[in-house]
Structure 1
Amino acid sequence: MKRFILLLCMMFSLSLMARDIMTNVKGRTLDNLTGENIGDVTLVLMNADSIPIDTMVSIGPPNHPMLVGMFAFKVGKVGKYIIHASAVGYKDAYVNFRVRSRREWLVRVGDIRMVKAVKELPELLVKATKIKMIYSGDTIVYITDAFKMADGSMLDELIRRLPGATLSADGRIYVNGHYVENLLVNGKDFFGGNAQVGSRTCRPTPSAR
């Protein structure tokens, strides 16, 4: 009778121990680009149906520098599981693993590689502008359409707006300090033998040489 009771006690004790068997699940979180360990990552252990079971935060700096990014869960049942990792500045990451037997005391899920989130810039309005001047050999070509001028504007008013161009009191044109000998409008000599600017209107595109 005593042996029978003792046997029952041993069986009961073994049953309790079986229910206490837990599988350790370990891994680490790291930056996908640099390969450096990332700490302070929130990890959620879920079952196959994505129902949360446990939550923890991976070890972060400055404590335990050799263990930064490490995490560990305890799982008590055989089955499939999911770990959801999230951190500020990174995209969410997931890893699947499986506990195949109650005899497994350790399951290593490996590295959970975190990819940095791309920061979206605010929408920008790009406004096109016209080219005001171009160089063609020793000739400077000014595009008059790029200058906002009222219809019927005088040529001297336009010249004063041209980059690098100045107009002397006697009506002579200088560009970057150099005297302009020829002023072509649509390929024709605008001066007509008189290298001075009078009160003339201008709408076409001139070239200063």
Structure 2
Amino acid sequence: MKKLFTLAALALCALTINAQTTISFSEVKAGGSLNGQTITSTLDGFSLTVTDTKKKVSVDGNEARFGTAESNTLYEYRLKSGGKSSSANCMSIAVPSSGTLEICVRTGKNGETDRNLVLTQDGKELYNKVVQEADATSITLEDGNSSNVYPIVAVPVSKGTVDVAYPTNSLNFYAFTFTPTTTSISSTVQAKKTNNVADYNLAGQRVDKNYKGIVISDGKKVIRK
């Protein structure tokens, strides 16, 4: 029965690690209130840190859909950078493993066609493209009304910190989503599995990791000295 519980726990762990995790916003925040704050998520190690010493970054209510015409998500709040990035106005995202980072971002102004989003990690540029309102797709909702759907920026990332820059002018961020790669999931689950393998002596008695001599570990004979 104990073995069954262990397997069930491993399966649950795999499902938890495999799930996408999103950081979004649910309430209004005044400029400067997020300075030095780290917004955490349900996934340990995935977080957003904001630097806003000039009190320009804020959160307000603003609806926008992101995704594709077939599959999209409506967000009701946005984080406004309040100007171009600098040492006094910037953001960074911590990611716990390799995977895909998705960012829901737009300018909010049709006439702005030069505002770019730049993502870097360990000095390497991961992404540098202009964000335009014209990239949105128009769809018809179930109630008959039309709505724009904005594309999601998606980039592969490694474990560490991703720096978010907007060097031309302000951008509006609605959500940050992280999905671990299959390799990261497998490695984590395998490590947990290895740590839970029971060892037995030749008499069939369970022994701890400090036992010296011949043991049966994971179905194999091992000599511990």
Relative to the length of structure 1, the TM-score reads 0.28
Relative to the length of structure 2, the TM-score reads 0.27
Higher RCO (CA 8 Å, separation ≥ 6 residues) = 2
